[in-house]
């Protein structure tokens, strides 16, 4: 039984590693087709088909990572060891934590899509008039932009509401939403034991909001600090995009381990009963 658990845990890790590596390779390969000088009418159809395949493979990678996380999480709960990964798994396995995780993941994902520009609302622009769009309609734009920003999925839902799905934003949205949901579900369990660590999680979550679109952060903040200051802040935040990414994700990764220490008994066991 123990060998089977170890094998399951390893298979979960392998699925996650394969998923992340495949996403990196996928982005790298498609970036080679973003030079406008190399795009010919004959090659455009092939790139368009590749763009469709890009999202099929990307969704398959998300599925592999998700299933790998589930296997890894389940095996940690079943083995009940005394490492921090097990404490995190046990503290988020109960019904209450899972409900909090799902609600947070969905709500944060929707909010992130608004901040990052994935969900677009432009009341001053009529898509059918300004862009000649058919309402409703959608298409995949295969070229040409910076690596990670193509292929885009453009969807016109109404004359003023649409979707602009950018690959790098989509990956960041799923990743950050998962980490925020994980932090929230652990924090709820840890709150009754210790109030420490919640500030770190809040900082990480707030920073993570603006990873995919620091320009949106400047626009959002301009409401409070004035237009001129908002424009200057937008430029500054755009230049510091890498810094936002560097700060937010590591903080969101570290915080669960900080809170897990508060949930560990002196003998290394978890203070939370996963069956509740």
* Model-wide pTM > 0.85: no
pLDDT tens by residue, 169-178:
888 889 888 9
- The maximal CA–CA distance of the chain, rounded, in angstroms, is 68
Name the residue among 176, 167, 225 with its Cα closest to residue 217: 225
pLDDT tens by residue, 225-269:
433 343 344 444 444 554 566 567 887 888 888 888 877 776 666
Name the residue among 127, 164, 166, 130 with its Cα closest to residue 145: 166
Q: Kindly list the domain boundaries of the chain, sorted by start residue.
A: 96-118+167-270
> How crowded is residue 95: how many other Cβ atoms within 10 Å of its Cβ?
10
**Can you spell out the DSSP letters for 86-135?**
HHHHHHT-SHHHHHHHHHHHHHHHHHHHHHHTSEEE-TT--HHHHS---S
Strand partners, 121: 161
User: How big, in percent rounded to 5, are the helix, strand and coil portions of the chain?
Assistant: 70, 5, 25
Spatial contact of 90 and 145, defined as CB atoms under 8 Å apart: no
């Amino acid at each position: 039984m123990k060998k089977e658990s170890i094998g399951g845990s390893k298979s979960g890790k392998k699925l996650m590693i394969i998923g992340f590596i495949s996403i990196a390779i996928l982005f790298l390969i498609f970036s080679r087709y973003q030079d406008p000088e190399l795009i010919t009418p004959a090659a455009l159809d092939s790139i368009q088909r590749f763009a469709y395949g890009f999202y099929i493979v990307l969704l398959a990678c998300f599925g592999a990572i998700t299933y790998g996380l589930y296997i890894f999480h389940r095996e940690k709960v079943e083995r009940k060891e005394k490492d921090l990964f097990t404490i995190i798994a046990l503290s988020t396995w109960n019904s209450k934590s899972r409900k909090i995780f799902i609600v947070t993941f969905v709500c944060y994902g929707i909010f992130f899509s608004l901040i990052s520009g994935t969900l677009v609302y432009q009341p001053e622009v009529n898509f059918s008039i300004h862009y000649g769009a058919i309402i409703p309609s959608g298409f995949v734009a295969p070229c040409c932009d910076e690596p990670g920003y193509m292929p885009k999925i453009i969807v016109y839902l109404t004359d003023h509401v649409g979707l602009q799905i950018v690959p790098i934003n989509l990956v960041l949205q799923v990743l950050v939403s998962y980490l925020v949901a994980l932090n929230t579900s652990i924090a709820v369990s840890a709150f009754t034991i210790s109030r420490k660590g919640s500030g770190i999680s809040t900082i990480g979550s707030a920073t993570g909001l603006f990873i995919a679109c620091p320009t949106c952060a400047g626009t959002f903040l301009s409401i409070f600090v004035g237009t001129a200051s908002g424009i200057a802040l937008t430029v500054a935040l755009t230049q510091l995009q890498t810094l936002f990414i560097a700060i937010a994700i590591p903080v969101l990764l570290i915080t669960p381990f900080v809170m897990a220490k508060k949930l560990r008994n002196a003998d290394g066991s978890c203070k939370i009963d996963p069956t509740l």
